């Protein structure tokens, strides 16, 4: 299995390599095979990418929005036409099953390109009457945006940042996670083929040091990170040092609240999707599943039955429903949390162990009798580990759901819609689902509150984070000077 790109970086519209950069490998975590060898970006590569972005951005911003949109729309079509190829690449790089990547990754990136392609030409400013004089506002791009990605949805993250940034007239320098470096390069190729002028979407490889060099560079006007809370604290602080705009899409420990009048099958299905999809490596997962006591036993019984039918295996086999974790290191981390959950006295309902001799496979795992103080109920595990907690009253569960530093998402299952809206109104979360979970269509803004982040991606809200307002005062009379 090989997925070697032509070169490590994509800069100024072409592949770029600098062998002086530290070598690193991309590994298929189902087998441990090396699928690509790359080099981290050197200061020379970063310099070229940032200069190219700065040079290309003004002419791009000066194009009619409909022309920018046309190119992005073409890129969306190319992504869809190549969905299978891109999905195989993503499956090799992340270990996620092809069954998922075929529908969730490049497809959602294409949606973002299409959405913002159509949105760009609709953006207007305001006219502001001032009783004689008047003012108007212009929406301007920010300039050069640095995007930094996590490893769980590599091409989706790259596209979710590139699409609004480019649509509104910015240039992008994107650094994918060093764990999954490949698909952002494929996106760069597609954008170039769609007609995006050179220098507007650059991909540079590397770890935290390369990311930090980008964030600190004076040529960068805006920083958008998808990553963990500890990284977010560092990147946000560094962006603040340069007084740069920042979007932080960070981690979570989200509550999924299931009242005892909920539809059992739907609630179980949502809890499974919200904990086992992508082997649990999703920021918005509902990893604290609060089940009202009346439904608890039926819920756990049905959950164990359905979890036992999950097909774990080779990710390229389309029958496989669950693949390995992204890396051996991540599997070890997750197994460590499972050991801790057992030691803290949580009751293992299913799973709880590594699967197979090779590969980073961990069985879908459910703990019951989890209490709020346990580490598995407090920390983001980022693996297929569900914690089920009991509750009695609405008031109690709202307080417990909010008792966390995180605030990315939350879900409520009930047939009582008045209660659903009442509860959602009090949940401290950027995105809430009622009788659904983890659906993130591009039309809907997405982002966190509290430590889970600042800013929003997707939807109309993204405009605020990739443009700034210029106010223009128009004097229509004589200047009234007192001297």
| Residue 2 structure tokens | 């090989």
Task: Give the binding range for ligand NAD (CB under 6 A) out of 48-56, 244-252, 364-372, 386-394.
Answer: 244-252
Task: Determine which residue in the list 41, 148, 158, 220 makes contact with ligand NAD, applying CB under 6 A.
Answer: 148
Decide the pairing of beta strands 144-148 and 134-141: unpaired
| Residue 328 structure tokens | 């051996």
How far apart, in whole angstroms, are the C-alpha atoms of residue 434 and residue 280? 20
Positions in 204-223 near ligand NAD (CB under 6 A): 207-208, 211-212, 215
Q: Judged by CB under 6 A, does residue 171 bind ligand NAD?
A: no
Which CB sits closer to ligand NAD, 148 or 295?
A: 148
Smallest separation (angstroms) from ligand NAD to the CB of 208 = 3
Q: Judged by CB under 6 A, does residue 202 bind ligand NAD?
A: no
What is the contact mask toward ligand NAD in residues 26 to 65, using x (rule: CB under 6 A)?
A: ----------------------------------------
Query: From residue 164, how far is each of 65, 118, 147, 252, 389 by CA, in Å?
Result: 12, 11, 12, 24, 39
Q: Judged by CB under 6 A, does residue 234 bind ligand NAD?
A: yes
Q: If you ran DSSP here, which 8-state letter would residue 120 be given? A: G
What is the contact mask toward ligand NAD in residues 384 to 423, using x (rule: CB under 6 A)?
A: ------------------------x---------------
Q: Among this protein's residues, is 357 annotated catalytic?
A: no
Residue tagged active-site, from 40, 114, 249, 394: 249
Residue tagged active-site, from 145, 283, 350, 432: 283
How far apart, in whole angstroms, are the C-alpha atoms of residue 464 and residue 452? 19
| Residue 160 structure tokens | 């979710």
Task: Give the binding range for ligand NAD (CB under 6 A) out of 97-105, 226-234, 347-355, 369-377.
Answer: 226-234
Q: Is 55 helix (H, G, I), strand (E, B) or coil?
A: helix
| Residue 278 structure tokens | 């992508």
Q: Among this protein's residues, is 145 annotated catalytic?
A: no
- Share of the chain residues as helix, strand and coil, in percent rounded to the nearest 5: 40, 20, 40
| Residue 450 structure tokens | 């509290």
Q: Among this protein's residues, is 249 annotated catalytic?
A: yes
Q: Judged by CB under 6 A, does residue 249 bind ligand NAD?
A: yes
Task: Determine which residue in the list 40, 93, 380, 394 makes contact with ligand NAD, applying CB under 6 A.
Answer: 380
Task: Give the binding range for ligand NAD (CB under 6 A) out of 38-46, 171-179, 299-307, 466-474.
Answer: 171-179
CB neighbour list of residue 391: distance below 8 Å, 6 or more residues apart: 257, 290, 291, 292, 293, 397, 400
Smallest separation (angstroms) from ligand NAD to the CB of 323 = 17
- C-alpha 144, offset from chain centre: 20
DSSP state string for 216-263:
H-TT--EEEEES-HHHHHHHHHHHHHTT-EEEEE-----EEEE-TTS-
Binding residues for ligand NAD (CB under 6 A): 148-153, 175, 177-178, 207-208, 211-212, 215, 226-228, 231, 234-235, 249-252, 283, 380, 382, 408, 448, 453
**Which sequence positions are flagged as catalytic?**
161, 249, 283, 457
């Amino acid at each position: 299995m090989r997925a070697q790109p032509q070169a490590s970086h994509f800069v100024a519209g072409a592949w770029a390599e600098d062998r002086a950069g530290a070598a690193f490998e991309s590994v298929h975590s189902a087998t441990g095979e090396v699928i690509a060898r790359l080099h981290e970006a050197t200061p020379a590569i970063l310099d070229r990418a940032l200069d190219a972005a700065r040079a290309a951005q003004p002419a791009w911003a000066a194009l009619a929005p409909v022309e920018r949109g046309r190119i992005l729309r073409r890129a969306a079509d190319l992504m869809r036409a190549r969905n299978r190829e891109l999905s195989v690449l993503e499956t090799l790089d992340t270990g996620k099953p092809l069954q998922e990547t075929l529908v969730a990754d490049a497809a959602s990136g294409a949606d973002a390109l299409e959405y913002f392609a159509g949105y760009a030409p609709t953006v207007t400013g305001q006219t502001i009457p001032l009783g004689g004089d008047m003012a108007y506002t212009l929406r301007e791009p920010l300039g050069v945006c640095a995007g930094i990605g996590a490893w769980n949805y590599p091409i989706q993250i790259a596209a979710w940042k590139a699409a609004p940034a480019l649509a509104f007239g910015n240039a992008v320098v994107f650094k994918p996670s060093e764990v999954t470096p490949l698909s952002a390069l494929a996106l760069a190729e597609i954008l170039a083929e769609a007609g995006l002028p050179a220098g507007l979407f650059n991909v540079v490889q590397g770890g935290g040091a390369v990311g930090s060099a980008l964030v600190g560079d004076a040529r960068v006007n805006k920083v958008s990170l998808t990553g963990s809370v500890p990284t977010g604290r560092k990147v946000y602080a560094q962006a603040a040092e340069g007084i740069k705009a920042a979007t932080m899409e960070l981690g979570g420990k989200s509550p999924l609240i299931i009242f005892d009048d909920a539809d059992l099958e739907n609630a179980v299905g949502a809890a499974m999707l919200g904990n086992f999809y992508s082997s649990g490596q999703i920021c918005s997962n509902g990893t604290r599943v609060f089940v009202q006591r009346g439904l608890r036993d039926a819920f756990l019984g049905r959950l164990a039955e359905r979890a036992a039918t999950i097909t774990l295996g080779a990710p390229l086999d389309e029958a496989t429903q669950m693949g390995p974790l992204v890396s051996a290191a991540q599997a070890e981390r997750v197994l460590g949390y499972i050991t801790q959950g057992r030691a803290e006295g949580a009751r293992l309902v299913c799973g709880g162990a590594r699967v197979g001799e090779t590969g980073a496979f961990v069985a879908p795992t459910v703990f019951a009798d989890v209490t709020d103080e346990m580490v598995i109920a407090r920390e983001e595990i980022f693996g297929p580990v569900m914690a089920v907690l009991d509750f009695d009253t609405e008031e109690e569960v709202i307080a417990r759901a909010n008792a966390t530093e995180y605030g990315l998402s939350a879900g409520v299952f009930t047939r009582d819609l008045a209660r659903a809206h009442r509860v959602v109104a009090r949940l401290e979360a950027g995105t809430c689902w009622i009788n659904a979970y983890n659906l993130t269509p591009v039309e809907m803004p997405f982002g966190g509150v509290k430590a889970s982040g600042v800013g929003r991606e997707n939807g109309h809200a993204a405009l605020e984070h990739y443009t700034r307002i210029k106010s223009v005062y128009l004097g229509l009379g004589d200047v009234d000077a007192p001297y």
